[in-house]
Amino acid sequence: MTTNPLIRCAVVGNPIAHSRSPEIHHAFAKQFDLTLHYDRILADRNDFSDHVRGFFAQGGKGLNITVPFKELAFSMAQVRSPRAELAGAVNTLWMDNQVLHGCNTDGVGLLNDLIRLGFNPKDKRVLLIGAGGAARGVVLPLLSAQPSHLRIINRTAQKALDLVNELATQADPLTANTQIDGGDLSSIEGTWDIVINATSSGLHQQSPLQTVPLFNENALAYDMVYGNQPTAFLQQCHHAGAKQCADGLGMLVGQAAASFFIWHGHKPELDPVLATLR
């Protein structure tokens, strides 16, 4: 009988005890008969880079990076994907020929989840709320799906406008088929097919919006945060007529799947893993 070699991966963050990544990656590994050991690593700002270097020096295959180290991981990566560049943040690290590579798979995770839910953004009007790290992490994959309109709104309007300007210069020709604009949280005129909350307001049981946007007949409200109960944002959207409401658990599984593919070259099935997590 042959046994597969042990592959080591881990997630680094602070706090980290709550992370569901080990559960998700072990479930993926089972699908391909991989012998994976996926750990949680608690780091702080002073020892984060030592953890990363030590992990790869000992033959580790891949690291996921979570709050609050995605920007530090970005600055450590010697080669970065365009998605990582625009996000200014890295959630996936791996070593290739002694060179540390970084990518941001959050956006692919979101896009795959939207498609799984039956809401492909192509030719749709998409309203993205937030212009911090979480929003930056998802805009390029969102644009690659070619929505007809992408509007980015934020409490600090200037941050949304800055992101819109960056997209206009960096993502061309991705932006060719999409009208992109931005504004403050009141810039919600029109009706929308997909409304995504990428702010951290849900962590304080608040919705970022005073006034809810108008939804098209078959519209989705999506909160990148997840939990046992619908977030304040999702409750608000449900009452305002959004046909479907979804939290970010599917995105979490999706971003993990994209990291898994980078490291192991296999595309896992998401639905059974998502069902187990719920």
Positions annotated as catalytic residues are 70
**C-beta separation of 161 from 182 below 8 A:** yes
Q: Is residue 107 part of the contact set for ligand ATR (CB under 6 A)?
A: no
What are the helix (H) ranges across 171-248? 232-239
x/- string (CB under 6 A) for ligand ATR, residues 65-104? ----------------------------------------
Q: Is residue 227 part of the contact set for ligand ATR (CB under 6 A)?
A: no
Who contacts 166 (Cβ-Cβ below 8 Å, separation ≥6)?
86
- Shortest CB 68 distance to ligand ATR, Å: 9
Which helix (H) or strand (E) segment holds residue 258: the answer is helix 249-264
- Shortest CB 154 distance to ligand ATR, Å: 5
State the Cα–Cα distance between residues 101 and 87, nearest whole angstrom: 15
Which helix (H) or strand (E) segment holds residue 249: the answer is helix 249-264
- Shortest CB 155 distance to ligand ATR, Å: 3
187-216 residues in contact with ligand ATR (CB under 6 A) are 199-201, 206, 208
For ligand ATR, give the closer residue by CB, 132 or 183.
132
Q: Residue holding tokens 């799906």?
A: 145
Q: Is residue 230 part of the contact set for ligand ATR (CB under 6 A)?
A: no
For ligand ATR, give the closer residue by CB, 3 or 210.
210
Among 37, 116, 149, 159, binds ligand ATR (CB under 6 A): 159
Size of the site for ligand ATR (CB under 6 A): 14
State the Cα–Cα distance between residues 259 and 265, nearest whole angstrom: 9
| 169 class by beta-carbon count within 10 Å (0-12 exposed, 13-18 middle, 19+ buried) | exposed
On the CB side of 267, how many CA atoms lie within 13 Å of its CA?
3
Q: Is residue 255 part of the contact set for ligand ATR (CB under 6 A)?
A: no
**C-beta separation of 259 from 105 below 8 A:** yes
- Shortest CB 47 distance to ligand ATR, Å: 22
x/- string (CB under 6 A) for ligand ATR, residues 130-149? xxxxx---------------
State the Cα–Cα distance between residues 76 and 80, nearest whole angstrom: 10
Q: Which residue is nearest to ligand ATR (CB)?
A: 132
Which residues lie near ligand ATR (CB under 6 A)?
130-134, 154-156, 159, 199-201, 206, 208
